[in-house]
Every structure is written in structure tokens, then in C-alpha cells.
Structure 1
Amino acid sequence: MKILATLQNNDIAPRFDLATEVLIAKVVRGKISGEPRTVLLPGPGSDALCSLIIKEEVSLVICGGIEEAHFQYLVWKKIEVIDRVIGPAPRAIELAIAKQLRPGGIVRTESTRRAQT
């Protein structure tokens, strides 16, 4: 299984169509296999990003806002989409692997959670 997260710096990009890089993690038996890789896109654009997702055989996409047409296209292609996510991409991927990430989720790091308690 592969998980793709749209990036802006180290966080989930606020909009799918404006992402210029993505983080791709391969998951084997519930754990990340190897080092996740960052892929720089030639520019922002939903169509190019959808093509990359198909080419890479991604199973799950984590993103911020996404247009309904692209959301439906990915779902039609049997790709799970968790959208409207805010926070650091590596932690979002960890939560997705643990089945704890939901659409609209606000992801916090361990240090952020400790500071709030």
C-alpha cells in the first residue's frame, strides 16, 4: 500500500490543486517501509497530481481542500481520500496507518499535544 500526502513545507497543503510537492510512503504490514520520499511536481495542478497518484499506484491520498470532481475521480479509481486535513504530513501518515485519521482532522505533533494539556 502507498500513501500520498500533498505538501506545503512539512505540512499538508491547504489545497490539492496548489501542491507543488508530495510525500509518498510505502506501508507494509502496518508500518512504513523504508524512508518516505518527497516528489517535486513541475507545478501546481490537479490533473498532473491525479496522474502521478495513478502512476504511483497510491491507495490513500491525504490532502487539504480538494475539488469535488477530483475527489470523485480518485474515489472512482478506488483510491481512498482523506481530505480537509490540517497539520504535519508525517504525523498525518502515521495516524492514517493507525486508522485514526478522519476527513477534517487537525493533526498535532506529540509536543503540541503535551503543551496543550
Structure 2
Amino acid sequence: MTKKILIPLYNNEVAPRFDLSTDVLMAEYTDNGDYSERVVVLPQASSEDLCALATSGNVDIVICGGIGEEYYQYLIWKGITVLDDVTGPVDEIIHEMRHGRLTAGTNLYLLPPAE
């Protein structure tokens, strides 16, 4: 099975706000381990353009920081899973996603608890 992911970027991290990102990572992976990615650069920051990119690109999952309720509900209505309030380096986020450990609210900058 193939999964398509959209992640608004801020440098090499998940953008803190969905509506302020012009760089977007479009990633695709399969159950057998195949993985590809590309960065799309939008002409301006726009929640509407990001939603259009997600729907026209047949994205399964949007991973983002903060997102307005209107856009969150729109993406859910379109059948796209939204994992919001996610922070961390994109490479680590993708790793966690591919291993089924990413959920809404994940913060990869938090240190593990001391033992």
C-alpha cells in the first residue's frame, strides 16, 4: 500500500504554522520500503493553496504544526488524515511516521524521561 504525505516546511523542520509555509515536502512510501520525496515551492504562503495541493495530489496524510480549524475540518472532510501540533526535524518525523509512531501532538524536541 502506498501512503502520500504532505508536510509544510520551515527549513528542515515541520513549519510551526500551516498558513505561513511556502516550501512543502511531498513524500511517498510503500509497505515494501520504497520511498521518494520532492519539495514543492509555492509562490506565496496560503492555506488554500496547501489544501488544493493536498487534494489534487491525492495526499493521505498532512503533518503540520498549527492549522486553522477551517482548514483542518476541510482536509478531514476530504478524507485526509491531519496530524497537527507536530514539531521536529522532517527526517525524524518521516522515520516515526513510517514506523507507525507518529501521532498528533508529537514533539520530537522533548528529551526522553530520565531513568
User: AA paired with 1:62?
Assistant: I
Q: Which moved more, 1:63-72 or 1:85-94?
A: 85-94
Corresponding letter in the other structure for 2:13: D
What TM-score, normalized by structure 1, do the two folds share? 0.87
What is the Cα deviation at residue 85 of structure 1? 0.7
Q: Which residue is 1:16 aligned to?
A: 18
Q: How do residues 23-42 of structure 1 correspond to structure 2 at under 5 angstroms?
A: 23-29=25-31, 31-34=33-36, 36-42=37-43
Alignment root-mean-square deviation, CA: 2.0
Q: Which letter maps to 1:57?
A: N
> What is the DSSP-based 3-state SS (H/G/I as helix, E as strand, rest coil) of the residue aligned with 2:5?
strand
Structure 1 CA distance, aligned partners of 2:107 and 2:79? 25
Q: Give runs of ≥4 in structure 1 deviating > 3 Å.
A: none
Change (3 A) 1:47 1:33: same
Task: Flag structure 1 segments of 5+ consecutive residues without an equivalent.
Answer: none
Q: Report the CA distance shift for 1:30/1:73 in structure 2 as closer, same or farther (over 3 A).
A: farther
SS in structure 2 of the partner of residue 31 of structure 1: coil
Aligned: 1:92 with 2:93: yes
Structure 1 residues 97-106 or 44-53, which shifts more?
Answer: 97-106
- TM-score normalised over the length of structure 2: 0.88
Larger relative helix fraction: 1
Q: 1:101 to 1:42 in 2, by over 3 A?
A: same
Report what 1:63 is aligned to: 64
Q: Provide closer, same or farther for how the CA distance between residues 32 and 104 of structure 1 changes in structure 2, counting only shifts above 3 A.
A: farther
- 2:34 and 2:75 map into 1 onto residues whose CA distance is 23
Structure 2 letter corresponding to 1:3? I
CA distance in structure 1 between the partners assigned to 2:14 and 2:32 by the alignment: 21
